[in-house]
Amino acid sequence: MQDPTILILASLADGDKHGYAIMEDIQVFAGIRLGPGTLYGAICRLEGCGWIRAVKSESRRQPYRITAEGSKHLKEQLALLGQVVRTGNRRMREA
Amino acid sequence: MRPLIRWAARLYPPRWRNRYGAEFDALLDDISPSLGDVFNIIGDVLRVRATASDASLVWAPVSQTMRLPVIISLTSHALMVTLILWAAFSVTPMPLQVSVAPIPPPAPEAPPVVTDARVFPDALTLYSSLPLTTSAQGDAIRLYVADGVGINFLPLPDIGARYRQGDIERRVWPGRALEAFIVRRVLPEYPHGTNTRGTASVFVEYRVSRGGSVKVLRTSGPMPFTSAAQSAIEQWAYRPLQYEGRPCEVVSRVEVRFDSEFAQSGMSQ
């Protein structure tokens, strides 16, 4: 689970966050520290896909919100990941 | 390192800078940048410039004004990158000779003394032994346990914020994240002497020290529920916490909810 876009969508799934909060959240729940370039590269792609959008803010720290399409994509990816995990675990037990 | 990382951020195309520049600068103010971050940004700059769908948007502002100062600037940037790469790959680390007194082995940690039937030795036992319901508000986890006491892990708006007191830096972590590190939890006793009916909520902010012990910083709620929550939470213990490989202190907040109905019936929800 190294895909920064999925990590960011998972981080935004429980509420709006700005870049630094996303970075810290991912560090806490996944143990992965995204570099600033990786983080904003992924944010740029996610915004381009319409999976997140910027929320109006007076602060320099721009919060982002997951969109309905983003939630749908996240669910699909997590379901796929769950399938991989279940299959891998079953095959490990059988080996 | 900070001037270097700001220089690297300026290499993004103007269009990218117009959209993300201000918030990216705010991010760089928040982090403690490393050389790895500089290369991370340079790598993303190259990716952005190489994959932009409309190359004119990326290069046009430079090419249309390709005058001598711009050429000098680009050349100096290229030279700086070359120097950094050369320095990174050519410096041979000198053998480090440090004589220090041998560090005595740490004293074995005494296992937690279980004096209360409601002491859970580890988080797995806690989760496997309790009914767990997910609330309708986000994915906050509520644990209602026997005797009408429950713990609600609050979503924290200032997650990741840093607070500094002297040389000690504390970070705000959500209670859910701390669950991976908990080794001992004592659940509050419902204060049966009170006449309060219904639900009473106590909000508790606590600090987890580098060693994993807990100190309550402040509470909010009615007495005697605050005392019950505080005395229990200060018996919690965590494995030593680390952030970026360094020991750190953490601040978190939970809601402890007391329910007289469940306390009287002795049932759990």
pLDDT in tens, B151-172: 777 766 666 677 776 767 777 8
Cβ A24–B159 below 8 Å, yes or no? yes
Cβ B23–A62 below 8 Å, yes or no? yes
Nearest to A32 by CA among A77, A1, A65, A70: A1
Nearest CA to CA, how far is B170 from chain A (Å)?
Answer: 13
Bridge-partner residues for B203, per DSSP? B220, B255
pLDDT at B101: 58
DSSP structural state of residue A64: E
pLDDT at B266: 46
pLDDT in tens, A11-62: 999 889 999 899 988 988 888 889 999 999 999 999 999 999 999 888 888 9
Nearest CA to CA, how far is B9 from chain A (Å)?
Answer: 9
Do residues A28 and B173 make contact, with C-beta atoms less than 8 angstroms apart? yes
**pLDDT at residue B118 above 60?**
no
State whether residue A50 is helix, strand or coil.
Answer: coil
**pLDDT at residue B100 above 70?**
no
Q: Which amino acid is at B225?
A: F
Cβ B159–A25 below 8 Å, yes or no? yes
For A19, the closest of B27, B159, B171 (CB atoms) is: B27
- Chain B CA closest to residue A15: B138
Nearest CA to CA, how far is A88 from chain B (Å)?
Answer: 23
Q: Testing the interface with B: which of A8, A9, A20 to mutate, by most B Cβ within 10 A?
A: A20
Cβ B160–A35 below 8 Å, yes or no? no
Nearest CA to CA, how far is B263 from chain A (Å)?
Answer: 31
The pLDDT mean for chain B works out to 71
Chain A residues inside the 8 Å CB shell of B243: 27
pLDDT in tens, B65-87: 445 566 677 777 788 888 888 87
How far is Cα of residue A91 from the mean position of the Cα atoms in its chain?
Answer: 28
Nearest CA to CA, how far is A66 from chain B (Å)?
Answer: 13
pTM over 0.80: no
Cβ A36–B37 below 8 Å, yes or no? yes
Residue B132's pLDDT band, with cuts at 50, 70 and 90, is very low
Chain B residues inside the 8 Å CB shell of A25: 159-160
Chain B residues inside the 8 Å CB shell of A60: 22-23, 25-26
Residue B172 CA to residue B160 CA, distance in Å, equals 5
Cβ B22–A35 below 8 Å, yes or no? no
Q: What ipTM did this prediction achieve?
A: 0.84
pLDDT in tens, A77-89: 999 999 999 999 9
How are beta strands B182-186 and B168-172 bridged, if at all?
Answer: unpaired
Q: Chain A window 49-88: which residues touch B at a Cβ cutoff of 8 Å?
A: 59-62
- Chain A CA closest to residue B20: A40
Cβ B44–A41 below 8 Å, yes or no? yes
